Structure 1
Amino acid sequence: MDIDRDEDAIVEECRVCGGSIYIDSDCEEEDIVYCNDCEAEYQILSLDPLRLSPLNDSADADEHSGDFGEYD
C-alpha cells in the first residue's frame, strides 16, 4: 500500500535504525513523529532549524544532544 506523502515533507534519518522519519509541512513544534522502520518516537523541538528529540531510551539516542545535523 502506497502512502501519499506531502511534497514539502522533510525526511530525516532515524538515529536508532537509520530509517526514514517524515515531517510533513503541517507538523508543528511539540508534535510527535515516528520512524517508519523501527517506530522510534521523536518530539519536534523546533522546525527552523529542524530539531528532534528522541522519546525512547535507546543508548544511541542518549549519546546525542537532540539536534539533527550537528554530528557526523
Structure 2
Amino acid sequence: MMNVPPESNAPEARGAQVCARCGAPFRCGKLAGDAVCWCAGLPALPVDRLRPGMSCLCPACLAAEIERIARSD
C-alpha cells in the first residue's frame, strides 16, 4: 500500500485511522463511507469508558476493552 496523506481522496486513504490506544493503523468503515463499519457488530463501550475527543480503537484494542468490561461485570 502506498503512503497517501489522510486528506487524500484516494481509496486507500479514505477511512484511514490510527488507534487511540496502541497507534496501529486501521480502516474505519464509517469514515470510508461504508454502509456499516466493522465495529457496528460489536457491543458499544459504556459511556464511562470514553474520553472526550478520543478517536476510535483498532479491532484488537476494542476487542480487548470489550473483554475487560465483560470480565468486570
- Tell me, yes or no, whether TM beats 0.5: no
Q: Relative CO higher for 1 or 2, CA cutoff 8 Å, sep ≥ 6? A: 2
TM-score, normalised by the number of residues in structure 1 = 0.31
Greater C-alpha Rg: 2
Q: Which has the higher strand share?
A: 1
What's the TM-score, normalizing by structure 2?
A: 0.31
More helix by share: 2
